[in-house]
Amino acid sequence: MVMAINFDQVGFTYQPNTPFATPGLHDVSFEIPEGKFTAVIGHTGSGKSTMVQHLDGLVLPTTGKVTMGNQVVTAETKLKELNEMRAHIGLVFQFPEAQLFEQTVLKDVMFGPKNFGASEEDAQAAAEAALKKVAISPDLYERSPFELSGGQMRRVAIAGVIAMAPDLLILDEPTAGLDPQGQRELMTLFTDLQKERQITVVLITHQMEYVAQYADHVVVFEHGTVVKSGAPATIFADEEWLHEKQLDVPAAKQFADALAEKGIQLHNVLDIDQLADQLAARLNGEVDHV
Amino acid sequence: MFSNMIIGRYMPGDSWIHRLDARTKLVLSIAFIFVVFFANNVIGYALAGAFTLLAIMMTGLGVGVFLRGLRPLVLLMLITTLLQLFFVQTGDVLVHWAFIKITTDGVINSVIVFVRFMLIIMFSTILTLTTQPLAVADGMESLLKPFKKFGLPVSELALMLSIALRFVPTLMDEAQSIMNAQRARGVRFNEGSLMARIKSFVPLLIPLFVNAIKRAIELGDAMEARGYRGGDQRTKYRVLTWHTRDTIAIIGFVIFTVALIATRWIM
Amino acid sequence: MTPIISLSHVTYAYPNSDVPALRDLSLTINKGEWVAIIGHNGSGKSTFAKLLNYLLAPDEGEITVNDVVATEENMWTIRDMVGMVFQNPDNQFVGATVADDVAFGMENRGVPRDEMITRVDAALEEVQMMPFADREPARLSGGQKQRVAIASVLALQPKILILDEATAMLDPTGRREMIALVHELKAHMGDDLTVISITHDIDEAASADRVMVINDGELVETGLPAEVFANADQLRRFGLAVPFAEQLKEQLRLRGIEVPNEYLTTEGLVTWLWQSISTK
């Protein structure tokens, strides 16, 4: 299934036509390229999470339209179409362990595939494969998910989404609250999955390191709308603009900028490898002609 | 799903009614339920209606908000009214068809019940729309204080109520995000047979419950860490203050009550 | 340096577990110190915090806080001295509004209302939350709620402030503001406030005077941030993050560059690189 996504003049209002109506999104137009890793950044409350709910048809745009592959979603889209669409989309919410409810780990992971029509055997096979991916050992399959450690619960919840074999995987700050090692493991899992299955991944994050390291494309939200999108190098090039938007710069770039102030100019540094490569060249006395 | 409930929600404002003491509004709302029964003719109901409308206007929130607030209760009101229509069998018969018999008394009674219902709901809605839930809790605590003597743990109950109120928005948000997560996993809420609907709520209720318990345990730790141990040595930061406007409101209400009683002798 | 907290051979196991969460822990924290406790999730850090406040009682060993032994008898005295801010901003907000929440601890201690009002105001001023005094928690950001939690503790005038992963659920802005706030508090309360921050955040830990590493219930390392952070391999082995400058040094070493062995901050490494490249 093709999963290129396009937002066209999308507006969204919470509780429209009530005294509590509040605008969520306005004039949102952007694209998420198919089969790529897209990062969505912006302040808390900038509209990122509201946008994500549109991606899975959890809310419908009040105005404008969202095109997802062949499916066009507008204010009038029917529930049935949304249900069909959802079968191809995986959504990992913030603190996804809050969605666990089944008696056993295995059953919980099978829940999604079964809802979307998989047979018992297929669902079990998908669940076992997904659990293997997130490194949950088989002796935990029959345990209650509530007996697991926080990190394990998180991975089981993520397995529950992966088991649906989504073409589009949306991750809303999936590593929040984990320790550094847990964070590393999860991010590796997601990038491997993206490469292996060539799926479209949308990552919402505050961590610019992830953006620099993994993203092919970046979308920046502010005050309920998209203010910039492009390749990470483009986004992080305009330091002043980032500062104005109170967005962080990846550590490697910060470091390169500190060197630049001392008169050592490096080029296109976003991650630590690029930084180390160029510095090593300089330290070995190779003159940079670029 | 939670977005259309207006009844029971507080709408911030700075009207004279908003600024009344919660105790005043609580007492008057309760009193109104009884006082309405003094009306026994058209003039009486007109007076009660006018008084309610005046109070509504004074909230500055607009009549529309109150009418929308009635919507979820329409079914309940209709059923009660129809019951009156069919079960009051005295008076002249208007319609007699098969086992259905509608009489003049039945019609009159159902109209009266409908009007009373409307008035009471409207008047109570004034309380909930213009008073912060916490202020209502404080008001209740203050009004219940005399019962402390009889062993009623008034302060503890009030603290419980205030914590419960404080967690309502948090739990609502949580319910919404769990629902979203389960919908993303293919759960269809509000679709299919009654059985299917009930079943669809299991994946919402279990996590909500489990997380609420987790929250409660953490909150318990946080409260203990800050020295909570119940008992009577506690002091109170929040105090209710009685203003002239509260006295005026009470006097106004008493005048209304007297006038309403007077209408009984007019016709 | 006078010790304000000392643990000697403390062991604690949760009732439903056979493996102790903390094993034979002995350490001392001095008055006015800012100590960061780091360790992976489940290492026993939070158990340690709860023991200090007598939310948990040790199975073995002894804990002394400001010369008071932590026992059931003394638990309220201990809690008067040790204030605690927890991880989840929502689950520690007791009051219906910001001001009510700050007052809660004082209400519990029977502080007269007049005094409460002054202390609520002072505490809110301290964390720059005064304009939000009447706000309900639902209308605050996570960072703001945590600042209120700090104010709630400050209003009780504790000797020790424990931040139990208090920044873990915040966004980077909220996190930075919290760390800046603790710096400010330390700056003007000096030795009257001892801070223990339990954290994964490198910046937060690097701000401390001393870092302790807890791994699988044992204290495995204690030292200046510079000493602890210089050992990248060990940090990784304990499941912890490595500061950026140390990561870069590692990468340069892999590329055959000789880099200094001692710990360097980002500024330190920038200066070193600048000097090395300039002399080429």
pLDDT 10s digits, B221-242: 999 999 998 777 888 898 888 9
Cβ-defined contact of C266 to A273 (cutoff 8 Å): no
Q: Report the C-alpha gap between A29 and A46 in whole angstroms.
A: 15
End-to-end CA distance of chain B: 48
Mean pLDDT over each residue of chain B, to the nearest integer: 87
Q: Name the residue facing A101 among B186, B191, B206 (closest C-beta).
A: B206
- Total number of domains in chain A: 2
Q: Does C16 touch chain A (CB under 8 A)?
A: no
Instruction: Looking at C41-97, list the stretches that DSSP marks H as alpha helix, in order from N- to C-terminal side.
Output: 45-52, 75-81
Distance from CA of B214 to the nearest CA of C (A): 9
What local confidence, expressed as pLDDT, does residue A287 receive?
Answer: 57
Is residue C160 a contact partner of residue C196, using CB atoms and an 8 Å limit?
yes
- A271 at interface of C, judged by CB pairs closer than 8 A: no
**Residue of higher predicted confidence among C184 and B78:** C184
Cross-chain residue pair A111–B210, CB shorter than 8 Å: no
**Distance of CA C9 to CAs A117, B40, B266, C215, Å?**
57, 81, 88, 16
pTM: 0.85
Q: pLDDT value at position B4? A: 45
Mean pLDDT over C209-227 rounds to 94
Tokens 């029509």 identify what position?
Answer: A117
Same domain (yes/no): A55, A181: yes
ipTM here = 0.90
Strands (E), chain A: 5-14, 22-32, 37-42, 63-68, 71-73, 89-92, 168-172, 200-204, 217-222, 225-230
> What is the structure's pLDDT at B89?
80
Does the beta-carbon distance from B163 to C94 stay under 8 Å?
Answer: yes
Inter-chain CB proximity C106 and B238 less than 8 Å: no
Chain C, window 85-114: residues with a beta carbon less than 8 angstroms from a chain B beta carbon: 86, 88, 90-97, 99-100, 103-113
CA gyration radius for chain A? 21
* C66–B contact, CB cutoff 8 A: no
Inside any domain, residue A290: no
| Claim to verify: residue A135 and residue A52 sit in the same structural domain | yes
Same domain, A237 and A110: yes
Per-residue pLDDT, A48:
92
B59 touching chain A per CB within 8 A = no
Q: Let me know whether A160 and A275 are in one domain.
A: no
Tell me the mean pLDDT in the region C247-251.
92
pLDDT tens digits, one per residue of A137-168: 999 999 999 999 999 999 999 999 999 999 99
pLDDT at residue B1 tops 80: no
CB nearest A176 (choices: C169, C236, C241): C169
pLDDT band at C91 (very low <50, low <70, confident <90, very high): very high
The answer to whether residue A172 is domain-embedded is yes
- Please report, in angstroms and rounded to a whole number, the separation of the first and last CA atoms in chain A: 43
The highest-confidence range among B1-5, B64-68, B124-128, by mean pLDDT, is B124-128
What pLDDT score was predicted for residue C203? Answer: 83
First to last CA, chain C: 47
**Cβ–Cβ below 8 Å for B3 and A115:** no
Q: Of B141-150, C88-97, C145-154, which range is least confident?
A: B141-150
Residue A129 lies in a domain: yes
Question: Which of B133 and A158 is assigned the larger pLDDT?
Answer: A158
* Per-residue pLDDT of chain A in tens (290 residues, 90 and over written 9): 557 899 999 999 987 777 667 788 999 999 999 999 999 999 888 999 899 999 999 999 999 999 988 889 999 998 888 888 899 999 999 999 999 999 999 999 999 999 999 999 999 999 999 999 999 999 999 999 999 999 999 999 999 999 999 999 999 999 988 888 899 999 999 999 999 999 999 999 999 999 999 999 999 999 999 999 999 999 998 888 988 888 888 999 999 999 999 888 888 888 899 999 999 998 887 655 44
Residues of B in contact with A15 (CB under 8 A): 3-4
Separation between Cα atoms, residue A128 and residue A137, nearest integer Å: 10
| pLDDT tens digits, one per residue of B27-41 | 999 999 999 999 988
Query: A261 with A130, same domain?
Result: no
d(CA C111, CA B235): 6
The residue extents of the domains of chain C are 3-225
Dihedral sign for Cα C138, C144, C148, C153, please.
Answer: positive
Q: Within this chain, do residues A137 and A259 fall inside the same structural domain, yes or no?
A: no
- CATH no., domain C3-225: 3.40.50.300
Shortest CA distance from B161: residue in chain C: C96
- Which pLDDT belongs to residue C171? 87
The helix/strand/coil state of C56 is coil
Cα gap A165→B180, rounded to integer Å: 19
Q: What is the mean pLDDT of chain C?
A: 93
Report residue C86 CA to chain centroid gap.
10
- Inter-chain touch B239–C113, beta carbons under 8 Å: yes
Q: Hey, of B166, B168, B211, which one would you mutate to test binding to chain C, going by the most C CBs within 10 A of its CB?
A: B166
Question: In angstroms, rounded to a whole number, what is the distance separating the alpha carbons of residues C39 and C253?
Answer: 26
Identify the domain containing residue A97 by its residue range.
Answer: 5-242
Residue A271: both structure tokens together: 């991650």
pLDDT band at residue B267 under the 50/70/90 scheme: low
Taking the C-alpha atoms of residue A27 and residue C275, their distance in angstroms, rounded to an integer, is 50
Q: Which of residues 29-48 of C touch A (CB under 8 A)?
A: 40-42
Residue of C nearest to B220 (CA): C92
- One-letter amino acid identity for C141? S
Residue A290 is predicted with a pLDDT of 44
Task: Please give the pLDDT value at position B2.
Answer: 46
Within this chain, do residues A275 and A158 fall inside the same structural domain, yes or no?
no
CB nearest to C108's CB, from B215, B219, B226: B226
Q: Is the pLDDT of residue B250 over 70?
A: yes
User: Does the CB of C194 have a partner CB in chain B at under 8 Å?
Assistant: no
Asked if residues C34 and C209 have their Cβ atoms less than 8 Å apart, the reply is yes
Minimal-distance CA residue of chain C relative to B162: C96
If you search the block for the tokens 């938007």, which residue do you land on?
A245
CA distance A7 to A48: 13
Which is higher by pLDDT, A39 or B7?
Answer: A39
